[in-house]
Structure 1
Amino acid sequence: MRNPRNEPLGSDISGNARGGSDAPERRCVLTGETTARDDLLRLAVSPDGLVMPDAHAKAPGRGAWIGVDKAALAEALASGKLKSALSRAFKTGALIIPADLPDLAEAALRRALLDRLGLELRSGKLILGSDRIANEARMGKVAALYHAADASADGARKLDKAWRVGLDEEGSGLVGTRLPLDRDALSVALGRDNVVHLALVDHAAAQRVSVPLGRFATFIGAYSGTADSGAGNAGDQPDIAQDVDDNELNFEGNR
Structure 2
Amino acid sequence: MRTPHNERLTPTTRSTRPGEKSPERKCILTGRHGEREDLIRLAISPDGQVLPDPRARAPGRGAWLGVSRAELEAAIEKGKLKGALARAFKSAPPLVPEDLPAQIEAGLVRTLTDRLGLEMRGGNLILGSERIAEHARGGALAALYHASDASEGGAAKLDQAWRVGMDREGSGEGGTRLPLDRAALSVALGRDNVVHLGVIMGRGADRSAAERVEQALARLQNYRDASQDARETGAV
Q: Higher mean Cα deviation, 15-24 or 97-106?
A: 15-24
RCO (CA 8 Å, sep 6+): is it higher in 1 or 2? 1
Secondary structure at the aligned position of 2:61 is classed as strand
| TM-score (norm. length: structure 2) | 0.83
**1:65 Cα deviation from its structure 2 partner:** 1.1
1:120 aligns with 2:112: no
Counterpart of 1:148 in structure 2 is: 147
The letter of the residue matching 1:152 is: S
Deviations 1:135-175, CA, capped at 9 Å, x for gaps: 01111110111111111112111111111111122223321
Change (3 A) 1:224 1:154: farther
Give unmatched runs, 5+ long, in structure 2: 203-207, 230-236
**1:179 Cα deviation from its structure 2 partner:** 0.6
Change (3 A) 1:181 1:63: same
Counterpart of 1:4 in structure 2 is: none
Correspondent of 1:14 among 9, 14, 21: 9
Change (3 A) 1:49 1:117: same
Q: Higher mean Cα deviation, 144-153 or 25-34?
A: 25-34
Give unmatched runs, 5+ long, in structure 1: 1-8, 227-255
CA distance in 2, matches of 1:225, 1:147: 26
Counterpart of 1:246 in structure 2 is: none
Contact 1:10–1:17, Cα closer than 8 Å, also in 2: no
Q: Higher mean Cα deviation, 174-183 or 37-46?
A: 37-46
Secondary structure at the aligned position of 1:187 is classed as helix
Matched length: 217
CA distance in 1, matches of 2:133, 2:59: 43
**1:115 Cα deviation from its structure 2 partner:** 0.7
Name the % identity: 57
Contact 1:151–1:197, Cα closer than 8 Å, also in 2: yes
Secondary structure at the aligned position of 1:215 is classed as helix
CA distance in 2, matches of 1:25, 1:160: 36
Counterpart of 1:58 in structure 2 is: 57
**1:33 Cα deviation from its structure 2 partner:** 2.2
**1:62 Cα deviation from its structure 2 partner:** 1.2
Change (3 A) 1:59 1:211: farther
Counterpart of 2:188 in structure 1 is: 189
**1:88 Cα deviation from its structure 2 partner:** 1.6
Secondary structure at the aligned position of 1:88 is classed as helix
| TM-score (norm. length: structure 1) | 0.77
Q: Higher mean Cα deviation, 115-124 or 47-56?
A: 47-56
Change (3 A) 1:224 1:173: farther
**1:218 Cα deviation from its structure 2 partner:** 1.5
CA distance in 2, matches of 1:209, 1:50: 30
Contact 2:11–2:218, Cα closer than 8 Å, also in 1: no
The letter of the residue matching 2:9 is: S
**1:225 Cα deviation from its structure 2 partner:** 7.2
1:208 aligns with 2:212: yes
The letter of the residue matching 1:147 is: H
Secondary structure at the aligned position of 2:48 is classed as coil
Counterpart of 1:241 in structure 2 is: none
Change (3 A) 1:154 1:23: farther
CA distance in 1, matches of 2:131, 2:102: 36
Contact 1:46–1:61, Cα closer than 8 Å, also in 2: no
Question: What does residue range 1-255 of structure 1 map to in structure 2 within 5 Å?
Answer: 9-11=1-3, 14-15=9-10, 17-19=12-14, 22-46=21-45, 48-203=47-202, 204-221=208-225
Deviations 1:189-238, CA, capped at 9 Å, x for gaps: 222221111111034111111222111112122x8779xxxxxxxxxxxx
Contact 1:46–1:62, Cα closer than 8 Å, also in 2: no
CA distance in 2, matches of 1:195, 1:133: 12
**1:48 Cα deviation from its structure 2 partner:** 4.7
